Amino acid sequence: MAYIGVSKARHGALTTAGQPIPSLVQIQALVDTGASCTCIDPSVLNSLGLTPTGIVTVNTPSTGTQPHTALQYDVSILIPGALPTHVPLIVDNIAVVAAQLLAAQGFQALIGRDILAQCLLTYNGQMDEFTLAF
Amino acid sequence: MPLEKELETYKKKLPELKTLEGKFVLIHDEQVVDTFSSYEDAIKEGYSKFKLEPFLVKRISSIEQVQSISRFVEPRITT
């Protein structure tokens, strides 16, 4: 589980403009070491009223041999600790790629290596578990 | 596509920006505003200068960096 909100920078601009700040959106996210960047479903980005602030080139199995262009949005991401007393991981300003994820897979975001680079990820295959420390 | 004009400006100005490889450039319309050492600084300046108007923040790279996603997803150029 994670929470997505407007970036800290956009938060300031909305406040200055006297516009309401969209509430954080609770989502299911998948830790994906195969993703170089964090991806979020457009439905989540739309619900935050975001406009794009970046463009990147992306390779996925669905794009075949030709990389595709994708929009980036600046957001904030909060990943809670395992217990309420644990300090959460908060990323105030991060560019995420808008990618339509299969709803049937049950998540709205891929936590990519850009965020994992700030964590210690341990995979224990024999115990069938992983830990993410931050 | 959103930010089309800004992307065009980036491509046009890339030969001049090449010496700043790895930095983040802030572009509004056809204007290169400034470059920054971090994404965070660039996005803050973007909102500070242009409020909620469109602007582009892009990492300067003479060879376009390609992000890779091994899972089957559909990258979007519109929302």
pLDDT tens readout for residues B8-50? 999 999 999 999 999 999 999 999 999 999 999 999 999 999 9
- A-chain CB neighbours of B39 within 8 Å are 93-95
Query: What confidence tier does B75 reach under pLDDT thresholds 50, 70, 90?
Result: confident
What's the rounded Cα separation, in Å, for the pair A42 and A25?
Answer: 13
What's the rounded Cα separation, in Å, for the pair A100 and A45?
Answer: 11
User: CA distances (Å), A26 to each of A4, A88, B21, B34, in order?
Assistant: 7, 14, 36, 35
Mean pLDDT of the A62-81 span: 92
Nearest residue, CB atoms, A53 vs list B40, B57, B70: B57
Contact A17 B52 (CB under 8 A): yes
ipTM of the prediction greater than 0.90, yes or no = yes
CA nearest B4 in A: which residue?
Answer: A55
pLDDT tens readout for residues A80-121? 999 999 999 999 999 999 998 766 678 999 999 999 999 999
Record the pTM: 0.94
Contact B4, B22 (CB under 8 A): no
* Confidence (pLDDT) at A112: 98
Amino acid present at B26:
L
* Confidence (pLDDT) at B71: 86
Of A59, A77, A56, the residue nearest A4 (C-alpha): A77
Of B49, B71, B30, the residue nearest A107 (C-alpha): B71
* Confidence (pLDDT) at A104: 66
* Confidence (pLDDT) at A93: 98
- The kind and range of the H/E element at B66 are strand B66-68
* Confidence (pLDDT) at B1: 87
What's the rounded Cα separation, in Å, for the pair A72 and A109?
Answer: 14
